[in-house]
C-alpha cells in the first residue's frame, strides 16, 4: 500500500483519526505520522496530553502494520506500553516514527518514537502489539 | 481529600478532563471513575477507542494518587502499560477502578481495571507509574 | 488439572523449573507458587534478584493458564511487564499469586502479585501474555 | 567508566552476574553484552529461557546506565517490559544491545534489543526503568 491508499484507508476506518495525526511517509514495515498540536491536545501547563500521544503512537504503528499485511480493518491493538520521557513542546507538531519488530501470522509487535518537530531528543517511547485476524481483509 | 474537593481540583487542572470521565467515589488509595461513552469516544465498529480508555485510566489513577499525596498538580505520569482484553460495549458507560500498589516518596505505582457498566468481565487492565515532585503542592 | 497432575506436568516440561518455585495451590484460572529463597536467588545487599522474581511470576501464571487450557507445553510467553515495588526479604520465601484476566482462543492475559511470605505488602506486580497454539496438546 | 572498570564493578556487585553475560563494549549511554548460552539457560525444546533473557537485558541496561552516572551500586530497576518475538537459537550466544533513552536526575529509561549471535532478526525487545538514588556513589 502506498501513502495515498493508506491515507484513504485510515480516513475511512478512523473517521476521528485526524485528531490522531496525518500520515507523512511509509516504507515497508514503518511509517511516520505528524500530529499538528492544537488546544484539544494540550494539558494545563501547556504540554501535550498523554492520550494524544498514545493515540498518535497507535495510529502510526497501525499504518506501519498495514504496509505489511494490507488493508485489514480488523487488526486490533492488544497492548500498549509507553514511557513518557520529556515534556513535548506545546508549540511544535508531534512526530511519530513507527516500525515493526515482528509481523507474524497472528501477532505483530512494533515500537514508536515520539518527538517534537525540530527537536532531536525523543519525548516518549511506545511498544505496541496487535492481533491479526485469521481471515485478512 | 474528599470527593468534592478532588472533583474541583481535577476540573481546575484538567479543563478537558471531563472527556476522560467523572469521579464517582474515592477511598484511601483508590478511586472509581465513570466515562459516559458518546460518539467522540467511539471507533468504527462501535467500540470505545483506545485513547479514551487510556485517558480514563490515567485520570482515575491520578485521583487515587491524590487521595494519598494531596493536591499535587505537578505529579506526572511516567509510564502506562495497558492490555486490551475485550471489546467494551458502545452503549454502556465505561467504569475505571484504580488503586495504588505503592506510594513512595518519589514514585507511585498503581493498577486500573476497566469494565463496561453492568458487566462483570473487565475489558482492559492498566498499570501506571507517576513521578512525585520533591516539593509537593 | 489438579495440583498433583499440574506439578508433574511442570516438572516434566521445566526440568529447571524447581529453581522458579513450587506450586502450592490451584483453582480455576489461578495458581499460587512459593519460591524457597536461597543464595542462588539473592543479589548483593541481600535482596531477591529480578530474574528470580520474573521466573517465578512466569511459571505461576503458566500454571494458572494450564488450569484452563489443559497440558499445552507449547503455549509461549509473548510479553511480560513487571513493576518492582519494594525489596523482598532475603529471609522469607517469595509467594506468587497468579490469575487469568482473559483466556481467549489464541491469547491469554494474566496478572501476578509477588510478596514475601508473612508480609502483607506486595513486592512486585507483573502482567503477562501468552500465545496459545491452534492445536492444543 | 571504561570497559575494564565497568566489568570489575559489575563483578563485585553482581557476583552471580556472570550467569547473565559478559560485557563486550560500552559507549556513552550504551552497552553490549554477550551471554554464552549453556544448559542452565535452556528450556525444554532447546530455547533460551525467559529469565535468562530478562537477566541479560537488565545487566546490559545497567551497564549502559553506569556509563552516564558512574558506579552507583544502589540504582535499582523499577520496571521491565519485554516482548518475546522469536525463539533464540540454543546453539548461539545471546547478544544484548542496550541504550539509554533518558537519564534524568531521578529516573533513567532505556531499551534493549536481544538477538542470537550471527542472526540479524531480534528475538526480544525490552524497555527498562531505573530509580537513581539522591546520593550517588
d(CA B64, CA B56): 12
- Mean pLDDT of the residues in chain B: 88
Predicted confidence band of residue A32 (pLDDT cuts 50, 70, 90) = very high
A contacts of C78 (beta carbons < 8 Å): 107, 129
C contacts of A79 (beta carbons < 8 Å): 79, 129
Predicted confidence band of residue B137 (pLDDT cuts 50, 70, 90) = very low
Q: Is the Cβ–Cβ distance between C94 and C56 less than 8 Å?
A: yes
The mean pLDDT of A43-63, rounded to a whole number, is 87
Are the beta carbons of A101 and D111 separated by less than 8 Å? no
Per-residue CA distances from B113 to A20, A122, C97, C125, C132 (Å): 25, 30, 18, 14, 24
Are the beta carbons of C82 and D79 separated by less than 8 Å? yes
Q: B26: distance to nearest CA of chain A, Å?
A: 23
Q: D24: distance to nearest CA of chain B, Å?
A: 30
- Mean pLDDT of the residues in chain A: 88
Are the beta carbons of D79 and B131 separated by less than 8 Å? no
pLDDT digits (tens, 9 = 90+) for C1-16: 688 888 888 877 765 5
Predicted confidence band of residue B123 (pLDDT cuts 50, 70, 90) = very high
User: How many CB pairs below 8 Å do chains B and D form together?
Assistant: 15
Helix then strand then coil, % of chain C, to nearest 5: 30, 40, 30
User: What's the pLDDT score for residue A15?
Assistant: 59
Which has the higher per-residue pLDDT, A45 or B52? B52
Q: Tell the residue number behind the cell numbers 508473612, with chain if given.
A: C118
User: How many CB pairs below 8 Å do chains A and D form together?
Assistant: 33
Q: Is C75 left (phi over 0), alpha (psi -120 to 50) or beta?
A: beta
pLDDT digits (tens, 9 = 90+) for D88-98: 998 999 999 99
Reply yes or no on whether the pLDDT at B107 is more than 80. yes
Are the beta carbons of C129 and A81 separated by less than 8 Å? no
In B95-124, the residues whose Cβ lies within 8 Å of chain C are 101-102, 109, 111, 122
Instruction: Determine which of A47-61, C38-52, C64-78, D121-135 has the lowest per-residue pLDDT on average.
Output: C38-52
User: What's the pLDDT score for residue B6?
Assistant: 86
User: What's the pLDDT score for residue D73?
Assistant: 65
Reply yes or no on whether the pLDDT at A136 is more than 60. no
pLDDT digits (tens, 9 = 90+) for C94-135: 999 999 999 999 999 999 999 999 999 999 999 999 999 876
pTM value?
Answer: 0.94
Annotate chain A with three-state secondary structure: CCHHHHHHHHHHHCCCHHHHCEEEEEECCEEEEEECCCHHHEECCCEECHHHHHHHHHHHHHHHHHHHHCCCCCCEEEEEEEEECCCCCCCCCEEEEEEEEEECCCEEEEEEEEEECCCCCEEEEEEEEEECCCCCC
Reply yes or no on whether the pLDDT at B42 is more than 90. no
D contacts of A101 (beta carbons < 8 Å): 83, 85, 122, 125
The mean pLDDT of A113-136, rounded to a whole number, is 92
Q: Is the Cβ–Cβ distance between D102 and A85 less than 8 Å?
A: yes
Name the stretches of chain D with pLDDT < 50: 137
Which has the higher per-residue pLDDT, A30 or D10? A30
What crossing angle do the helices spanning C3-13 and C50-69 adopt, rounded to 10°?
120
User: What's the pLDDT score for residue C135?
Assistant: 62
Specify burial of residue C106 (Cβ count, 10 A radius: 0-12, 13-18, 19+).
middle
Per-residue CA distances from D132 to B1, C42, D103, D105 (Å): 31, 21, 9, 7
C55 contact D CB<8A: yes
User: What's the pLDDT score for residue C117?
Assistant: 97
CATH number at D3-131: 3.10.129.10
Are the beta carbons of D129 and B79 separated by less than 8 Å? yes
- The pLDDT > 90 percentage for chain A reads 60
**3-state DSSP call for residue B54?**
helix
Predicted confidence band of residue C137 (pLDDT cuts 50, 70, 90) = very low
The domain limits of chain A are: 3-131
Interface test with D, best of C50, C75, C124 (most D CBs within 10 A): C50
Specify burial of residue D87 (Cβ count, 10 A radius: 0-12, 13-18, 19+).
middle
User: What's the pLDDT score for residue D7?
Assistant: 83
Interface test with A, best of C77, C102, C105, C106 (most A CBs within 10 A): C106
Q: Which of A16, A43, A78 sits opposite B83 (nearest CB)?
A: A78
User: What's the pLDDT score for residue C58?
Assistant: 92
Q: C87: distance to nearest CA of chain B, Å?
A: 12
pLDDT digits (tens, 9 = 90+) for B67-102: 999 876 678 899 999 999 999 998 999 999 999 999
Which has the higher per-residue pLDDT, A20 or C50? C50
pLDDT digits (tens, 9 = 90+) for C117-128: 999 999 999 999
Reply yes or no on whether the pLDDT at B61 is more than 90. yes
Amino acid at each position: 500500500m502506498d501513502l495515498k491508499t493508506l491515507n484513504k484507508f485510515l480516513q475511512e476506518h478512523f473517521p476521528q483519526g485526524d485528531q490522531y495525526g496525518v500520515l507523512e511517509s511509509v516504507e515497508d514495515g514503518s511509517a511516520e505520522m505528524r500530529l499538528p498540536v492544537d488546544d484539544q491536545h494540550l494539558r494545563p501547563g501547556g504540554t501535550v496530553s498523554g492520550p494524544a500521544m498514545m493515540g498518535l503512537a497507535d495510529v502510526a504503528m497501525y499504518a506501519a502494520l498495514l504496509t505489511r499485511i494490507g488493508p485489514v480493518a480488523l487488526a486490533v491493538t492488544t497492548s500498549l506500553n509507553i514511557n513518557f520521557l520529556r515534556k513535548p513542546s506545546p508549540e511544535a507538531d508531534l512526530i511519530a516514527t513507527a516500525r515493526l519488530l515482528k509481523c507474524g501470522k497472528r501477532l505483530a509487535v512494533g515500537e514508536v518514537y515520539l518527538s517534537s518537530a525540530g527537536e532531536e531528543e525523543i519525548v516518549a517511547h511506545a511498544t505496541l502489539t496487535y492481533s491479526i485476524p485469521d481471515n485478512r481483509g
